[in-house]
Amino acid sequence: MYTTVVTIFCMCLKVMHVVYGVTVVEYKNLRESLLANYSTSIRPVLDQDDTVYVFTAFWLVDINEVDVVSQNLLTTAHLELAWTDELLQWNPDTTGIYTMYFKQKEIWIPDVVLKNGVHKFKELGGDFYYLEVEPDGSVRWLPFEVFQSKCDMDITYFPFDDQICNITFNSWSFSKYEVNMTLFDGLPVDFYNYVENSLWDIVSTGAYALPESEVESEVTFSLHLRRKPLYYVTNILMPIILLGIVGLLVFVIPADAGEKMSFAMAVFLSFAVFLTIISAHLPANSQKSSILGVYLIVQMTVGVVTIVISAFQLRLHHRKVERNVGGFYRGLVCMERFLRCRNGCSKFISATDGDPEPCNKSHYSVDWNDVSSAIDFISFWTILIFEASALAYVLLAMVKIV
């Protein structure tokens, strides 16, 4: 038993010597022999009619920024690219070397660029990068970058919007028949020490390569992002809703108070300020409009209508008492009193003989203060119903229920 254990131990030492006992001279000689007639400008296949297949994966580290205004996506990630270099092959059994490392500029690498990048094309990686090479010529390259790519933003449902951003890489100089960029099986997009973004969630990821019928060689990695709406709900949406409720108080303030017009103008200008704030968060886009932005335009329109109604109401309120009240204004007063009373106009103030009189009789007791009060009442409930309906529709539309 003791002899067997000693024999196994000696064999293990011998194997370890073969694997790890390579001297610097042996490593240097193998390296020089491999690079002796090597050219970084020649595709690494013995038959130049063959295709170099470059397998690609995307390892996401962080979503730095989703710039909706500029329609850019800023991500920190690294690509994983692997291919076979038939010019860098050796026998590991005779050399005892199972892995070698070469700097990026020393061997052939595919000219991969970020196709939908915002800045000018530049080479991935850098001179300080090392590529891992195995005896069968398998090369593994992990260029780490901060990628800034274009992303077409759909801000229709802001702040409950989803964005699908694509990050596309291609081989700029070679066709698919020369360098075919494709995907690893089952590993399109993965995460490497991923840091969760405070404003965006990743709903799903995906990847695809161009079909074989296409000549261009490229792969696209897709990120389905969903905005976290809490910040915008508490800082923009809720103030807008509350401001709309406050705007109704224009018709509660008495006409004699002298504050109706200034209050109406203040509410209108407040909506204009919020429209400016929202515009700062959205791109200049004539094809797609934000539902929230449209709602603000509607609120500003309601504000203009409120100012116009208040101006005419104050004009009527301060008319001379001896001026007769026309039939249209009597109709408004009758409508207001009818809405306030379940049994109709017969309950209203009657003529001097005590019999109920219809509202359109000339001697019916109506003055300009009554007209002003009727305008306030009717306008308040009309705009309240309109705003409640508009708000309900906008909220349901933004959360994609309608």
Judged on CB neighbours under 10 Å (0-12, 13-18, 19+), 284 is exposed
Q: Is residue 14 scored above 60 in pLDDT? A: no
Tens digit of pLDDT for each residue in 294-351?
888 888 899 899 999 988 888 888 887 778 888 888 888 888 888 877 444 444 444 4
Q: Is residue 15 scored above 60 in pLDDT? A: no
pLDDT of residue 109: 94
What is d(CA 267, CA 400) in angstroms, rounded to the nearest whole number?
29
- Residue 287 pairs with which residues in a beta bridge? none
pLDDT of residue 286: 60
Tens digit of pLDDT for each residue in 251-275?
888 887 778 888 888 888 888 888 8
Residue type, 340: R
- Number of CB atoms found within 10 A of residue 244's CB: 23
β-strands 179-183, 52-67 pairing: parallel
- 209-223, 266-280, 375-389 — most confident range: 375-389
- Residue 101 pairs with which residues in a beta bridge? 132
Higher pLDDT, 360 or 154: 154
Tens digit of pLDDT for each residue in 102-128?
999 999 999 999 999 888 778 888 888
pLDDT of residue 368: 83
pTM of the model: 0.78
- Residue 334 pairs with which residues in a beta bridge? none
pLDDT of residue 181: 92
153 closest CA partner among 279, 278, 294, 283: 283
pLDDT of residue 54: 95
What is d(CA 110, CA 180) in angstroms, rounded to the nearest whole number?
10
State the pLDDT confidence band at 359, using cuts at 50, 70 and 90.
Answer: low
pLDDT of residue 361: 47
pLDDT of residue 73: 94
Contact 366, 350 (CB under 8 A): no
Contact 88, 34 (CB under 8 A): yes
Average pLDDT over residues 343-368: 52
Residue type, 276: T
Asked which of 119-123, 163-167, 221-225, 271-275 is least confident by mean pLDDT, the reply is 119-123
Tens digit of pLDDT for each residue in 145-161?
999 999 988 888 988 99
171 closest CA partner among 118, 214, 230, 229: 214
Query: Quick one: tokens of 306?
Result: 């409120």
Query: Quick one: tokens of 299?
Result: 């609120």
Q: Is residue 283 scored above 80 in pLDDT? A: no
